Structure 1
Amino acid sequence: MDRAILALSVIAVLVLVAGAFGSARVGQAMSFKKSSETGEQTKRHPILKNPIVWVYIVAAAIVLFYIGYLFTTTNLPADY
């Protein structure tokens, strides 16, 4: 059971990273006309204004926290 949880955790991280890179590539490939002037704060940090980026950041933090929790609370055998 412990190996299955570890394997699923690794798969979740890989999917999260692949999704983040895929979103970044799609975002760079899309171009659209700006209808208004962009604010100074947005010009300095355009990626942080994207809510999808925040979803990936929060999801990565949750997944890493859960993996750390499992790692610290699970008693793995010495030969693992």
Structure 2
Amino acid sequence: MIDSHPCQGYGADFLRLRESKSMSKEQVAFLLGEDVRFIERLESEKIYPSSYLMNKISEVFQMDIKVVSGRIWCKSPSECSKWV
């Protein structure tokens, strides 16, 4: 994303969100059309999801896409929001 920076800590927030919904890595991976390794890399902040996957995440967790994208990408670190 232009003029945006990755937010630190989004992976841990994604993990807490997944666990708060009592969902396994396997369940979330299936719903996103990805493999478990993708979820592991996402939770360890080794990757950043594409716009398509951010939309899928918002659908799976029934969240507004602006909340999801705002937690992963922000204009400055102080603007990063929290999911949970």
TM-score, normalised via structure 1 length: 0.27
Which structure is higher in RCO with an 8 Å CA cutoff and minimum separation 6?
Answer: 1
Which structure's residues are more often helix, by fraction? 1
Which structure's residues are more often strand, by fraction? 2
| Bigger radius of gyration among the two | 1
